[in-house]
Amino acid sequence: MPRMKFDLLHNDPNSQARAGVVHTDHGAIETPIFMPVGTLATVKGLHQNELKDVVNPDIILANTYHLYLRPGTEILEKAGGVHKFMNWDRPVLTDSGGYQVYSLSANRKIKEAGVKFKSHIDGSYHFFTPESAMDIQRTIGADIIMAFDECTPYPCDYNYARRSMHMTHRWLKRCIDHFHNTPSKYGYNQTLFPIVQGSTYKDLRAQSAEFIANADQPGNAIGGLSVGEPAEEMYAMTEVVTAILPKDKPRYLMGVGTPINLLENVALGVDMFDCVMPTRNARNGMIFTVNGTMNVKNKKWADDFSPLDEHGTAWVDQYYSKAYVRHLFTVNEMLGKQICTLHNLTFYLWLMREARKHILAGDFRTWKDKMVKQMDNRL
């Protein structure tokens, strides 16, 4: 099958921002893009058609570690892959489980061969290798498959970061070998993205970016950021890496971030993002708006009957009042989480589409600087 194709449409003259299109067998992905997180083959609180019709993302994420444990690859294989299983016909990207393995900390052992870990569900032991991570993701049926890596914590000792990066590179070779020796499943093309590591060390990041660029896969990712480091360090690392990664392939910054983080990283040449923040914060009553963030649980909204977000583009923004949504959170009703999830994801996707428009129009930098200032605010 042909390799995934990326059309780079426009470079912003005043930043590294780019507008492009990634072509997959499940449709085109217009970049820059934010990918909603559907860990367990569901974006929490949203029906698939709501996600499609209201939020309208070109691609979503699912999680290898979680889907491997439940429902398991046997069910996903019988279903004909995750798209059929959840009834979603656009592209799906799966992270490899590297991040979840990192999060398990006490419950995993990392060795050259792979990672032994204890299930957070039933305590059973499992072993992931670069090879098995490829097999599992092929069986899940992801359009974009992530390399199996080690995500280092922050802060991270230089020597540990260096050794870990080299192991991630060796693992990548095994991923690529195994990936290219196995066929795509379910009749559509599957693509592998390698991951740059190197913690917060510029020299390691540069070294890793060179290595990943040389692996010559159809797209590349930046991992190991958004793990607690200051935003300035994240931007510094992104800048080093995007200067090295090939321009003609999409760049995916994993696990990032706030709306401001997104715009700053778009300015540094990133094309794809994912993060649990818009969905997780929504479930805690925190929404992002064009004028800043808002804690809908605050007492000050108790008798504010104005729309949830006057400037919002999701139907919920005008349909429900601040007072009503605040009430739903006060009494712990699920509808509150549903409303804020729909709001936040719609806002994130709107923001990426606006960014794209401004890149294509050539005024991204001015718009970005204004937006970053405007959104850095508590309502």
DSSP class of residue 148 equals P
Contact 128, 104 (CB under 8 A): no
Looking up tokens 């969905």 gives 279
Stretch that binds a second copy, among 81-89, 100-108, 263-271, 366-374 (CB under 8 A): 81-89
Exactly one of 157, 177, 203, 303 binds a second copy (CB under 8 A); which one? 303
Looking up tokens 């426009």 gives 10
User: Coil, helix or strand for 315?
Assistant: helix
Q: Residue 33 forms beta bridges with which residues?
A: 272
Rule CB under 8 A: say whether 275 interacts with a second copy.
no
Residue 78: how many other CB atoms lie within 10 Å: 12
Rule CB under 8 A: say whether 300 interacts with a second copy.
no
Catalytic residue from among 12, 58, 274, 317: 274
User: Coil, helix or strand for 326?
Assistant: helix
Exactly one of 71, 153, 246, 292 binds a second copy (CB under 8 A); which one? 71
Exactly one of 19, 22, 37, 46 binds a second copy (CB under 8 A); which one? 46
User: Active-site residue 363, yes or no?
Assistant: no
Question: How many residues make contact with a second copy (CB under 8 A)?
Answer: 40
- Is 98 annotated in a binding site? The answer is yes
Residue number, 135 or 304, with CB nearest to a second copy: 304
Distances (CA, A) of 129 to 101, 164, 172, 188: 12, 15, 11, 24
Q: Residue 94 forms beta bridges with which residues?
A: 62, 145
Residue 279: how many other CB atoms lie within 10 Å: 22
Alpha-carbon gap, residue 197 to 362, rounded angstroms: 32
Residue number, 241 or 339, with CB nearest to a second copy: 339
Residue number, 201 or 324, with CB nearest to a second copy: 324
Q: Calculate the CA 127 to chain-centre distance.
A: 24
User: Active-site residue 95, yes or no?
Assistant: yes
- What sign does the CA torsion over 354, 359, 363, 367 have? positive
Catalytic residue from among 95, 271, 309, 317: 95
Stretch that binds a second copy, among 218-226, 256-264, 312-320, 352-360 (CB under 8 A): 312-320
Q: Which of residues 20-39 bind a second copy (CB under 8 A)?
A: none
Rule CB under 8 A: say whether 331 interacts with a second copy.
yes
* Residues 6+ positions from 87 with CB-CB distance below 8 Å: 48
Catalytic residues: 95, 274
Binding residues for substrate: 95-99, 149, 197, 224
Applying CB under 8 A, the residues found at the interface with a second copy are: 40-42, 44-49, 66, 70-71, 74-75, 78-79, 84-87, 302-303, 305, 315-316, 319-321, 323-324, 327-328, 330-331, 333-335, 337-339
